[in-house]
């Protein structure tokens, strides 16, 4: 490697230029990849709720679940009141009241679980989009690195290909010269036989 990144090769006292070595600009690629990743994360995060919206939504969801639960449990007083006013028998009022209390008791955890599933589904949707975007970015970066490496070694590849072609030409000439020498030897041997 000569000065200035030039690659030379000497054969029979004659210097030939093979090519110029250039180092890939990986630092530029790093900056571009960082900017693209930042933009991808910002695009994915823009659809997420901010903390105050998120807490308001969670509070509304919990409040609604608690209200439904309290209404169901509170409505159990209806069958009990009907029994006390002798409008219903004991067994139907007991079954209705117990059923409403059970439903009210189950409404809160079931509602909270549904809200949690909703959040999880939403977050997983955003995570999947972000994962696909980052996967595309990294595949593009790998392709660009491979191109830069290929460009960096292309002078050597050309040199090896040129030297291979030269060796094949020399092999062909040598085989033709060997065939000529063999033919000449046969003619000489025939001339002595006479």
Instruction: Say which residues have a Cβ less than 8 Å from residue 142's Cβ, sequence separation at least 6.
Output: none
pTM: 0.48
Q: What is the pLDDT of residues 6-33, one digit of tens each?
A: 555 555 555 555 555 555 566 677 778 8
What's the whole-number average pLDDT of the chain? 80
pLDDT in tens, 32-89: 888 888 888 887 777 776 666 667 777 888 888 888 888 888 888 888 888 888 888 8
Distance CA 89, CA 80 (A): 10
| 7 burial level (CB within 10 Å; 0-12, 13-18, 19+) | middle
* Cα torsion angle, 50, 127, 129, 110, sign: negative
């Amino acid at each position: 490697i000569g000065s200035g990144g030039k690659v030379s090769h000497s054969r029979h006292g004659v210097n030939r230029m093979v090519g110029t070595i250039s180092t890939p600009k990986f630092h530029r690629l790093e900056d571009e990849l960082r900017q693209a990743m930042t933009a991808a994360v910002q695009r994915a995060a823009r659809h997420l709720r901010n903390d105050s919206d998120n807490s308001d939504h969670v509070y509304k969801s919990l409040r609604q679940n608690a209200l439904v639960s309290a209404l169901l449990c509170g409505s159990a007083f209806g069958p009990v009141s009907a029994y006390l006013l002798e409008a219903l028998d004991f067994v139907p009022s007991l079954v209705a009241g117990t059923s409403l209390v059970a439903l009210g008791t189950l409404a809160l955890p079931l509602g909270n679980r549904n809200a949690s599933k909703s959040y999880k589904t939403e977050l997983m949707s955003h995570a999947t989009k972000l994962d696909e975007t980052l996967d595309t970015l990294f595949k593009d970066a790998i392709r660009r690195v491979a191109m830069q490496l290929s460009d960096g070694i292309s002078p050597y590849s050309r040199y090896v290909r040129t030297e291979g072609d030269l060796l094949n030409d020399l092999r062909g000439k040598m085989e033709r010269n060997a065939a000529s020498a063999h033919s000449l030897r046969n003619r000489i041997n025939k001339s002595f036989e006479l």
